[in-house]
Structures are given as structure tokens and as C-alpha cells.
Amino acid sequence: MGRLDIFINVARKPIHPRLRGPVKKICRYLVDHSQVKEFLGENRSVLAQNLKVELYQFNQLSSSYKVQNYLKMNNIKYDAIEVSLFSGKELNNRKYKDLPMAVINGIEVIDSRLILSILESHLITGKSIDQILQKYRILDRSFGNSWIVDPYVIDDVDPISPQLSEYRKREFEGRCLIHETIHNSRLLLPNIFYTFKESNIVANVWMDAFKIPSFLKVGLEMVGGPAAFALSTAAKKFYKHDYRKALFSAVDEWLLSVGDRDFHGGSSPNLADIEMFSIIDSLQPYPVFEDIMKNVKDVTPWYLRMHALKTKSIQ
């Protein structure tokens, strides 16, 4: 049984229908970002400057990191609204309650993967956010919200060049691989609360992040970490695989598709790079981050290249 098969079994969900066969097939696409740059939007910088974005978020979520990093790396200015963990009052006048949620030029968009695809489509084509959203099939679900069937669709210029088609296919498969092996396998929370000691560290980080009053911290310190660890331990009993090793393998498997190139997108990052970077970046406050850096071959050089681009973009 291959590593991807293990992840699928852990997730107990079918793999995305457009991501069949060995993971290494992603390596067959050799088109570099520089070869398709002309198709990725001549007026990207102008369109980016004219966007008005409000980002409603919990800053500790990897999905919030994902949207933040995309906005920063594309020089899109935005207003960040940190939603209260207890009241959620910031969302009282909003249609959706899911986080992160972006209001792009007045239109609410949920699901971090969809937000990236919508913004990228806008920067490529210049079409309005409303026009782009019409390309997506929407299915009603419970509680009056909606779910996007395929959040990876990206609107390309017409006619699509063969190079751009291959570049997009590679990017699509890289993004799907991340979703199937990490998100669908639910690898993040059990790795954050991996041991009792790590759970206490995380509890303190979260209390500081959510600005818990000092008089409440004492009680929460006594029950927060142990409770989180207990829930994590209970979840692990449903699966026969070690969560930490599975996370290492998932990152390593994805890096195989990067190969000897600087980024998944070649000479410049694509959306798959931003998604994987955001997952790892969101783990930086926790012990699991150092474990990934130490145990996953080739992740550190790639991570540092991505971090340098992020730092450069926000200066």
C-alpha cells in the first residue's frame, strides 16, 4: 500500500475524481511560471490595487493564513477583522458565518480555496467577482449556507495556450493533493495537540491570541490543555496510523512534485505553493513546526524561499 492510499484510508473519503494515479505523475508537467506569465494577467498589479477586501478570520486557522499570504504576496491591501471566539458579533450583519470569509468588492465569499481561486481569476481576466462566481455550481446545505462543489476552478483567458493548460493542471493537482492528504485526513489538530506537553503549550498560545482575561486564564490553563489532549487522544483511536508520521509523509509526498525546482510553480510560486506554505506557517507557534523542519527532507529550503517572498511583499 502506497502512502497516498494510507492517507485516503485515514480520511475515509474518496480521493478527488481528477486526482487519480500515482502522486509522482504531477512531476510530468514541466511548464515553468515564466512560460505562462503573459497569460496570468497583464494588469494584475492595477487590478490588485483596485480590489477592496475585508477578511473575517480566526488568526490561528491555517485557512486564514492561506488567504492572508495570498493577499500579501499579490500586494492586495485588505482589512483584517478578527472575529471574537466567544460572541462572533463581527459576523452579525453577514450572510455567512463560516471562517475565513472575505468580502471582495462587496461580495461575500467563503471557503479559503474558493477565495484564492476567485481572486486569481479576477487578476487573470479582469472580470468582476460576480461574473466569476457564476462559473461555480452552488448546492444548498443545512443551516441556509452554501457549499462550492469545486473550489479549484480558475477562469483562464481564451484561447488557453497548451503551456497554460499544463501549468494549471499541475497547480490543480498540487492543491488537490494537499486537501486530500492533509485536510481530508484531519492531520492538523491531532498534530497540534500531539502530546500532553504540546497541548498545554498550544492552550497558552491560543489564550494569548484570543486575549483571554487573566482571571480566566488560571482555570483554563488547568482544563484547556488536558481537555484538548483528551479529545485528540480519543480521535487517534479511530485510526491505526501515527498522525505525526502521516503529516511528515504528506509534506514529503507533496515536495516530490516540486522536485529540484524552487517552487511547485517553477521559478515563482503558484497557488499550491501558497496553500502548503500557509499550512506549515500556521504551525510555527507550535512544537510540530520544528519536527517538520527536522524530519522532512528538503522542506526547509523551500519554506525559507516562500517566507522570504512573503516578507518582501509586505515591506
Q: Which pLDDT belongs to residue 213?
A: 64
Q: Which pLDDT belongs to residue 144?
A: 46
Weakest mean pLDDT among 142-151, 233-242, 282-291: 142-151
Could you tell me which of 200, 302, 195 has the C-alpha nearest to residue 255?
A: 302
**Model confidence pLDDT, tens digit, residues 251-270:** 999 999 898 899 999 999 99
The C-alpha cell of 101 is what? Answer: 470569509
Query: What number of other Cβ atoms are within 10 A of residue 133's Cβ?
Result: 17
Q: Would the pLDDT of 177 be above 70? A: yes
Percent residues over pLDDT 70 in the chain: 74
**Model confidence pLDDT, tens digit, residues 185-225:** 788 988 988 888 888 788 777 767 666 666 666 666 666 66
CA 308 to chain centre: 18
Q: Which pLDDT belongs to residue 6?
A: 28
53 in Cβ contact with 67 (< 8 Å): no
Beta pairing partners, 256 = none
- Residue scoring higher pLDDT (180 or 208): 180
Question: What band does 234 get if pLDDT is binned at 50, 70 and 90?
Answer: low
180 in Cβ contact with 7 (< 8 Å): yes
The C-alpha cell of 223 is what? Answer: 482544563
CA 147 → CA 92, 183, 185, distances in Å?
20, 16, 20
For residues 284 and 288, what is the distance between their CA atoms, to the nearest angstrom?
8
Residue with cell 483567458: 157
Residue 263 DSSP SS3: strand
pTM of the model: 0.82
Q: Would the pLDDT of 52 be above 90? A: yes
For residues 100 and 112, what is the distance between their CA atoms, to the nearest angstrom?
6
Q: Which pLDDT belongs to residue 87?
A: 74
Work out the average pLDDT over 99-110. 93
How many Cα atoms are found within 13 Å in the side-chain-facing hemisphere of 260? Answer: 0
Please, where are the H alpha helices in 179-270?
Answer: 188-192, 196-209, 214-236, 243-258
Residue 34 DSSP SS3: helix
CATH 3.10.580.10 fits 4-313, yes or no: no
Domain boundaries, the chain: 4-313
**Amino acid residing at 247:** L
Locate the DSSP E strands across the chain.
53-57, 78-82, 101-104, 107-110, 138-140, 146-148
The pair phi, psi for residue 92, each rounded to 5°, is: -55, -35
For residues 131 and 133, what is the distance between their CA atoms, to the nearest angstrom?
6
The C-alpha cell of 158 is what? Answer: 481564451
Question: What band does 67 get if pLDDT is binned at 50, 70 and 90?
Answer: very high
Q: Which pLDDT belongs to residue 11?
A: 31
Strand order from edge to edge, sheet including 107-110: 78-82, 53-57, 101-104, 107-110
Which are the contacts of 259, defined by CB distance < 8 A and separation ≥ 6? 27
